[in-house]
Structures are given as C-alpha cells and as structure tokens.
Structure 1
Amino acid sequence: MKTFMRLIRRYVLLAVGLSLLLIVLALAFIVWLGVRFGVVWQNQFRYSYVEIADHLQQNAAGEFFFDERDTVYWMDGYEWAMVLDDDGKVVWQYQLPRELHRQYTASEIAVFSRWYLDDYPVFCQVRDYGLLVLGLPKDSVWKYNFWTYPDLIEWIFYRGSTLILGVLLLILMLCLLFSWRGAKSLRVVADGLDALAEGRTVQLTAKGFAGELAEKLNQTSAQIQYRNEIIQRRDNARTQWIAGVSHDIRTPLSLILGWAEQLQRDISLPENARHKAAGIQAQSEKIRALVEDLNLTSKLQYGAQPLRCEPVHAGPLLRRLVADFCNGPLAAQCQVELEVESSAETAELHADTALMARVFENILGNSVRHNSGPVCCMVTAEVQGKQLLVTFTDDGAGFPPAVLAVLHGETPADTAPHILGLHVVEQILHAHGGSAEFSQNKPRGSKVVLCLPVAS
C-alpha cells in the first residue's frame, strides 16, 4: 500500500508540474510571437507612420517635402501616401492609385481612418499641415477595433498574479480530486496485491474502472491457490514416499549388514568368500548412507527437519566431529589432521551438532570414497569478521569437472553425476545461515570451505 500511495503522489506532482510547464511554455510562446512579429514589422517598414508624419514638412508656399532625405527613402515599405486638408481634398500625394478619389467627405474619412480605404489598410496622423494617410498593400495587414473598460485592464494588470495563482490552485484541486477518486477505487486492488504477496487468498469486489483489475486478481489468486494445492500434494506424496521407502529399506539392509559382518568374521570360510562379504558390507553401508541423505535432504527441502541448535564453542565441537569420523569405518583409508586457530577456539556457534556431524561425515567420506588409495585430509578453522571459516582439503584426485559444474549452479544434464551427499552439506549450511563453497585444491585434491555465522 505504501508503494501504491507513493505512486499516487508522484502522479499528482507530475500533473501539477506539467500544468505549470504548460503555462510557462504558453507565456514564452506569446512573448516569442510578440518579439517575432515585432522584428518582422521593423524589417518591413523602415520608419513608422508617426515618424513619417513628423518628418513631412510644408513650406510657406504650400509645398510638401521631407527633411534630411527624399520621399522614396521615407516611404520604403508603404504602398502610397496622401495629405488631406480640412475640406477633405488631396493636397499632396505619393503614388496614389488612380481608383482612389481625390476628395473625401468627413464621414468617409471617419470610416477609412479606422479600417480600410478601398481594401487598402491605412494609418492616419493629424498634423498642422492636414491629415496624413499612409496606405499599405492590400491583404498585408488585418485591422479590427478592440475596446474594453479601463477597470478591466487595471484589474487584469494588478491582479494577474492572483489570477494565475487561483488557476494553479484550481488545477491542483482537480488533480487531487481525481487522484483521490482513483486511489479510492484502486485501494481495494492494492490491498488484494498485498494479500496476494503474503500468500493469502484474494476475493475482491471492486467496482468502476478498477473492476477489471480486481477480477484479474481474483482469477490469478484462484490459479495460484490451485497450483499451490497441487504442489503441496506432490511434495507431501514425495516426502511420504521417501520416508516409506527409507523405513522399508532399513530393516532388510540391517539384516544384510549383519549377515555380511558375520560372514566376514567366519574363519571357516575361504578368504575369497570373506573378502566378498566385506565388499557386500561396504556397499550396504553406501546404500544406507544414500538412503539417510535422501531422507534428510527431503526433510530439509520442505522444512520437515527441525533444527535443534544450541550454543557451542567451535574448537571443542570441531575436535569431537573429527574424532567421531576417525572412529568410524572409513578412517582406516585416510589420515585426518585438524588445526584450529586461537580466534576460532572460543568462537561461539548456534548449531545442530547432529547435522554438523553429517556435514563432516559427508565431506570427509566423499574424499575417502572417491579416491582409490589412502588420502590425507586437512581441516582448518579460523574467524574472519563475524564468520567462522572451516576449510577441508585433501590430496586426492579432486572434484570431477561435471561435479563442480552442478555444484556451481549450472543446469544439470540428463547424465549429471550423483552429488546427493554434497547437496545435503549445502542444505545444512543454508539452514544454519551459512554457505558452502566447492573448488579444486592446489596443487591437487579437492577443497571445501564452510562459512558459519559466529554468535555475537
């Protein structure tokens, strides 16, 4: 909902900002038009009709002339010109068209002085020598009268800022009104999105323009719920199947291990038979480890394996885990050394010791089972920052490239290698808030680095 309200605020601010921008652009455009046509007018006419009227002179003999320059210079841009006396008679002219009269009545002068004379736009100026009339080319200028009350002009001039502010406030109020109405309609949809993000079922009844969105959310919620039910049933079936198979295998596997051990110790049997019995026992141990890893990874994946974490010191815990492995059946094929730095000796962890024992068993057992001859394993522990780093190295053949590819997150192929034991290591570390990194040891062998958070 907070994100949605921020979106509404941004919409309102954007609408107000755009309105202000449009007003500023409109004012700038009006100013540009005034400057533009002012420049055009100045380029078209060298002098204004007021300046021409001021420079036109009449001597004592009644002759008209321009001071400083000739008539052609002053009349640049104008079509024609004439001067009327008090009786309306033309007393001076410049290129006056033939179709125009040479004398006008007072009413005719009143008409053309305001608009046009025979479709010629004209400008008039009254001087001592008479009425100067300057004509422009036809269709070059539009002339219309405009009038208004002085109070209105003064009000617009003095109250213009107040008017603009009022318009802006009106725009802001309209934006807020429409935004509030839109937010009210979309509030239900936003609540539905929050519920959907939290995994709850959504059933909205929004109306108006948000009704279609509400219906789509209802359909999406129904589909997600249906798929979640299918996934839940599939996961439950998978977990129950793995648990059932593990339980069913455990009893016959225990019998096989027991009989294989008896046959291996029976001195009445030939050496070859006892050797085969030892092989049966070793392979059965592998099967039992695989079944236990499969059952454990299934529980960790679906949260069915509770973590029984307790505060422990890293040094004693690591020595006990290494000692437990060295007391196991695989210790005869390897040599394990442990080095714990002083900083890691008293580092406190919150860990499930049983699961951590499985981590050590899987990592060290992987080094033993995947090397044909005896292997030397090295376990070191140190604290870096707030993390305990436990590093496992061996001098064996190292990880096959295909195994590393799967461990580093690449999509496994149909012929991907078996890494269930190492996958269990990753799951246990993630459950403890840590991580596991797998790489090759230099110059040879494999390397596994466990990162566990140290309790503050």
Structure 2
Amino acid sequence: MKSIQRFLGRFLIGLFVCFLVFFVANIAGLTVYLRVLYDTHEGDEDFSPTWAVRDTVEGLTKQDGEYQLAPSVVEELRAHSAWAMLLDDNGNVIWSMDLPEEIPLSYTPRDVAGFTRYYLQDYPVFCWEHPDGLVVTGYPKGSYMRYTLNFAEQDARTIFECVLLFLVGNVLVAILIYAFLCWWTVRPVRPILHGLSCLARGEPVQLAERGSLREVAAGINAASGELQRRDDALRKKDEARANWIAGISHDIRTPLSVILGYAGELQDDPALPPPEQEQAAVICRQGVRLRDLVSDLNLVSRLEYDMQPLERQWLRPAKLVRRAVTDFMNAMPENPCGIELEEVDESIRLQGDERLLLRALTNLLQNSVLHNPQGCAIRVSVRRDGTNTCLLSVRDDGVGADPQKLASVLNAPYAPKRAHGLGLFLVRRITETHGGQFTARTAPGEGFSGEMRLPCEPLREAAQSG
C-alpha cells in the first residue's frame, strides 16, 4: 500500500511541476510580447501619440497674433503623417497643420464629445487641453486602434498571429509534458510489467528492489522464488512418478512373461482335457491384455512428461493405414467387425514416428472392435484437409457411447475411478506429440469416429516430389 501511495505522490508532484513550468512559460512569453509591443518598431522607440499631443500643446505658442508650432514637434508629427488643429472655446478651428480637406473647421459641443472618444472622420485622434482651447492631433486612417489601450494597427494585427502562435506552442508544450509524464510514470512500472510477463511464462524473475515500487518488486521476487520452488518440487514429483511407473512396468513384465510362457505350454499340451486348455487360453489372453495395459501405462507416462523421443521420418499415411489394418486383421482374425478402406490419398507425405502412429491407428481399430462385440462396419480413410493438413479417420456404425464418458477418457489418464483403458488417451497424446489435433465423436446408437489431424507436406511440394 505504501508503494502505491509513493507512486501516486510521485505522479502528482510531477504533474504539479509540469503545470508550474507550463504556467511560467506562458507568463514569460506574454511578458516578452508586451515588451515588444511597447518598443513598437525599430526607430520609433521614443514616439507615442499620447506624448506627441502633449508635445504639441507645449510647442504651440502665439507670437504676433499668430500661432507657431515648434519645428521639432512639426518634424515629429510629419514623420508620422500626423496633422494637428486648435479649437477655441466655441468649437472653431483657429489653427491647423496639414489638416485633411474632409475635416470640418467648426464643431458643436456634441461633435467634440464624439471625437474625443478617439475617432474623427475615421481618423484616430488624440486630444489635450491648451490654454486657448483644445489641441487635436490626428493620424492616417488605420494607423492606430483607439480603445482603452493604444496599439499601432500593425501591432494589433500581430496579436492574432501571436495568439495562434501561443496556442500552437501550448499544444506542443502540452504534448511534451504528456510524453514526459508518461515516461516518468511508466519508467518504474516497466520492470514490474516485465516481471509479471516472465511470471506468466514460468520464467525466474529477479527485479531490482528500489524506487517507489520497491515493495511490489520485492513481492514479485518472492512470488517468483516460491513458484520456482514449487515447479522444482513438481518436476521432481513427476520424475519420481515416471520412474516409479517405469520400474513397476519392468517388475511386472518379468513374472508376467513366466505366466504367459507356462500358460502357452498348457494351452498347447495335448494331454490336457479341452476345458483345461480353454482355461489356459483365457489366462494367455488376459495376460496379453495385462501386458498391453502395462505397456500403455508406461508409454502414457513417457508421453505425458516428454520423455518419449520421436524417431521422425518421411512416411506415406496410405501405406501406414494399410499396414495397421493388415496387422490388426492378422492379430484378431476372428473379430466380428468388417474393416474397409474408404478413401485413401496416395500422394500425402508427412514426418512422424512410424511406430507411434501405428500404435495410434491400432488403438482406434481396437476401440471399435472391443466396444462392439456384436459386430460393426469400420471405415478407414486418409485424405488431405487443406493444403498442409492430413486427416486420418477411423469410423464405425456401432453402439456408440455417452459423450461425457468419452471426454473423461480423453482427458483424465490417471483418474481414480477410470473404467476404461488408455487407448484413446494414447491416440490423443501421440497426435499432439506430432503437432496435430485429435477429435473423437460419439453418441448412443450413432457409432464412434476418431480423427487424427496431422501436419503434412504442402500440396505443391507433394506434387513436385511425386
């Protein structure tokens, strides 16, 4: 909990600092811009219309009954295309300089009140009191915007450009701040995420226990150590189980061979009466079944723990199926089921362990025969499913079975209440060991079908090699 609080505190502090920098940067930019406006243009640093009208008032004097304006003020006004006039108390122009033609020479009090609000005939004007009346200075149309503040027209237009520039700059700064915050926030989290990913893959993890999330890192390290310890214990347990099964299988085979040997001699002994010979035959059959079960259990154990090496070679599934059917018919000549090769594609080739694949096909055939003592029709096919998949199928039209029982047979080889052998589970494991997928379907009264979907040589390469 403390690690989370420290992490959130780190994020909030970073957010506050970035906001402060953002605010200071905007204030600094605005200050610089206003300073530039204050300085206006190069060469005009000391000119101000407000001060110019005051200078006009001070420089305008009456000599010999005529008004004279100081030459320096005249020069300054003309340098900025300005004009000036002096109104008496009755609103009449009693003096002017460079006055435009459209400017009236007489004004009412209402007119004076109007243009003292900054404009006269669209000319921006500035007014100041003179001992003899009111001095008015005017500037070209569009040169100044006369509101509460005084800005040159050109400077006022740049305000919008600067606002746009500020907006773009703020967006860029916001993006940089966001990127920095993401990096600053994710930096301590990235090792944690990597550690969790390694834990999910079962890999050992050892994170550096520092920073705001050091307690979380310590917890992940502890969890990794515990998982590794349990994996080692489970691996040792699995190895012990596999070794125990292999040892038991070996120990059972020796006395079982002796039993089968003596039972075979008794079955073939002509001196024994037929009932005793039949009993000896039953012993032989059950002994062979027990031997096969021990062999299946040993093979299941090796496949389950990846202890069974694969002797891969290029095979023709069509030849493999024919051999499996032939060997099965020879081994069980009296079985009541008929086996038919329904569809066989001779062009398919695949890489696999011939002995294991034969075992899987034999188990599928044996499953159909054992569960249909009254007889059934068994159909075997080999065909291509797509461009690089081979489908080995064994189907019968027998009595079928409960699909739930079939699921338990395929998925629980060591179930304590298992009522069936390991044949179908072996088929599934052999198929998966070859990189394929086994699918079994059944229902009461609808027979059984088992399909081994195995990777095979692509269609184009098969055509070239054929």
* Cα displacement (A) at 1:322: 1.7
Which sections of structure 1, spanning at least 5 residues, go unmatched? 1-10, 20-125, 132-145
What is the deviation of 1:212? 2.9
Q: Residues 409 and 420 of structure 2 are in contact (CA less than 8 Å); yes or no, is this contact kept in structure 1? A: no
Tell me what 1:86 maps to. Answer: none
Question: Which of 146, 158, 163 in structure 2 is aligned with 1:160?
Answer: 163
1:232 to 232, 235, 247: 235
Give 1:249's aligned residue.
252
Contact 1:398/1:440 (<8 A) preserved:
yes
Structure 1 position 167, deviation (Å): 1.8
Cα shift at 1:295: 0.9
Cα separation, partners in 2 of 1:370 and 1:257, compared to 1, 3 Å: farther
Q: Distance in 1 between matches of 2:232 and 2:184?
A: 37
Structure 1 residue identity aligned to 2:273: P
Contact 1:325 1:360 in 2 (8 A): no
Name 2:97's counterpart in structure 1. none
Question: Is contact 2:401-2:445 (8 Å) kept?
Answer: no
Q: TM-score, normalised by structure 1?
A: 0.62
Spell out, residue by residue over 1:278-324, the C-alpha distance to the aligned partner (whole angstroms, 9 max, x if none): 11111111111111111111111111011111001222222122222
**SS in structure 2 opposite 1:333?**
coil
Contact 1:265–1:274 (Cα < 8 Å) also in 2: yes
- Cα offset, 1:326, TM superposition: 2.1
Checking the alignment, whether the CA contact within 8 Å between 2:436 and 2:454 is kept in structure 1 is yes
2:351 aligned residue: 350
1:71-122 Cα distance to aligned partner (Å, 9 max, x none) = xxxxxxxxxxxxxxxxxxxxxxxxxxxxxxxxxxxxxxxxxxxxxxxxxxxx
Q: How does 1:5-24 map onto structure 2 within 5 Å? A: none
Tell me the percent identity. Answer: 34
Pairing 1:246-395 to 2, within 5 Å after superposition: 246-328=249-331, 330-339=332-341, 341=343, 344-385=345-386, 386-395=388-397
Deviation at 1:190, TM superposition (A): 3.9
Q: Mark the CA change 1:369 to 1:443 in structure 2 (over 3 Å): closer, same or farther.
A: closer
Contact 1:387 1:452 in 2 (8 A): yes
Aligned counterparts, 1:173-184, within 5 A: 173-184=176-187
Measured after TM superposition, the shift of residue 249 of structure 1 is 0.6
Deviation at 1:127, TM superposition (A): 4.7
Task: Evaluate the alpha carbon distance shift between residue 185 and residue 269 of structure 1 in structure 2; reply closer, same or farther with a 3 A threshold.
Answer: same
Q: Residues 411, 301 of structure 1: CA spacing in aligned structure 2 closer, same or farther, 3 A cutoff?
A: closer
Tell me the residue number matched to 1:203: 206
8 A Cα contact 1:394 1:446, kept in partner: yes
1:169 is displaced (CA, Å) by: 2.2
**What is the CA–CA distance in structure 1 between the aligned matches of 2:453 and 2:440, rounded to whole Å?**
12
Q: Residues 347-376 of structure 1: CA distance to partner in whole angstroms, max 9, x if unpaired?
A: 111121100121122112222323334554
Q: Distance in 2 between matches of 1:222 and 1:149?
A: 75
The CA distance in 1 between the partners of 2:315 and 2:372, in whole Å, is: 33
- 8 Å contact kept, 1:398–1:444: yes
Q: Residues 435, 170 of structure 1: CA spacing in aligned structure 2 closer, same or farther, 3 A cutoff?
A: closer
Deviation at 1:192, TM superposition (A): 2.8
CA distance in 2, matches of 1:395, 1:158: 86
For the structure 1 residues 331 and 352, does the alpha-carbon distance in structure 2 shift closer, same or farther, using more than 3 Å as the test? farther
Q: Is the CA contact (8 Å cut-off) linking 1:307 and 1:352 kept in structure 2?
A: yes
Q: C-alpha distance in 2, partners of 1:307/1:331?
A: 31
Which residue identity does 1:189 align to in structure 2?
Answer: I
Query: What corresponds to 2:46 in structure 1?
Result: none
In 1, Cα distance between equivalents of 2:220 and 2:446: 57
Query: Which amino acid in the other structure matches residue 377 of structure 1?
Result: I
Show CA shifts across 1:209-244 (max 9, x none): 232332222122112112211211211111111111
1:158 Cα deviation after fit = 3.9
Partner of 1:418: 420
User: How has the CA–CA distance of structure 1 residues 267 and 374 changed in structure 2, closer, same or farther, with 3 Å as cutoff?
Assistant: farther
Structure 2 residue aligned with 1:40 = none
RMSD (Å), alpha carbons: 3.4
Deviation at 1:183, TM superposition (A): 3.5
TM-superposed CA distance for 1:438, in Å, is 1.9
d(CA) in 2 for partners of 1:392, 1:322: 11
**Residue in 2 aligned with 1:437?**
439
| CA distance 1:196–1:445, change in 2 (3 Å) | closer
Q: Distance in 1 between matches of 2:156 and 2:210?
A: 49
Residue pair 2:410, 2:424 contacting (<8 A) in 1 also: no
Question: Structure 1 residues 184 and 441, CA, compared in 2 at 3 Å: closer, same or farther?
Answer: closer
Distance 1:418 1:368 in 2: 14
- The count of residues paired between Structure 1 and Structure 2 equals 318
- Name the aligned partner's letter for residue 267 of structure 2: Q
Return the letter of the residue paired with 1:449: E
Task: Using the TM superposition, give the Cα deviation of residue 383 of structure 1 relative to its aligned residue in structure 2, in angstroms.
Answer: 2.1
TM-score by length of 2: 0.61
Per the alignment, in what secondary structure is the counterpart of residue 332 of structure 1?
Answer: coil
2:394/2:449 contact within 8 Å kept: yes
Q: Which moved more, 1:258-267 or 1:368-377?
A: 368-377
| Aligned partner (choices 215, 219, 222) of residue 216 of structure 1 | 219
- The question of whether the paired residues in 2 share the 8 Å contact of 1:347 and 1:454 is answered with yes
Contact 1:407-1:438 at 8 Å conserved across structures:
no
Q: What is the CA–CA distance in structure 2 between the aligned matches of 1:153 and 1:423, rounded to whole Å?
A: 87
CA distance in 2 between partners of 1:408 and 1:238 (Å): 20
CA distance change for structure 1 residues 374 and 164 in 2, over 3 Å: closer, same or farther? Answer: closer
Give the deviation of 1:184 after TM superposition: 3.1
Residues 402 and 416, structure 1, Cα contact 8 Å, conserved in 2: no
- Answering whether residue 170 of structure 2 is matched by residue 170 of structure 1, we say no
Q: Secondary structure at the match of 2:311?
A: coil
Cα separation, 2, equivalents of 1:178 and 1:445: 65
Given the superposition, is the C-alpha separation of residues 445 and 415 from structure 1 closer, same or farther in structure 2, using an over 3 Å criterion? same
The separation in 2 between residues aligned to 1:252 and 1:180, in whole angstroms, is 71
Q: Contact conserved, 2:342 with 2:379, CA < 8 A, in 1? A: no
Q: How many Å apart are 1:440 and its aligned residue?
A: 3.3
Whole-Å separation in 2 of the counterparts to 1:266 and 1:189:
76
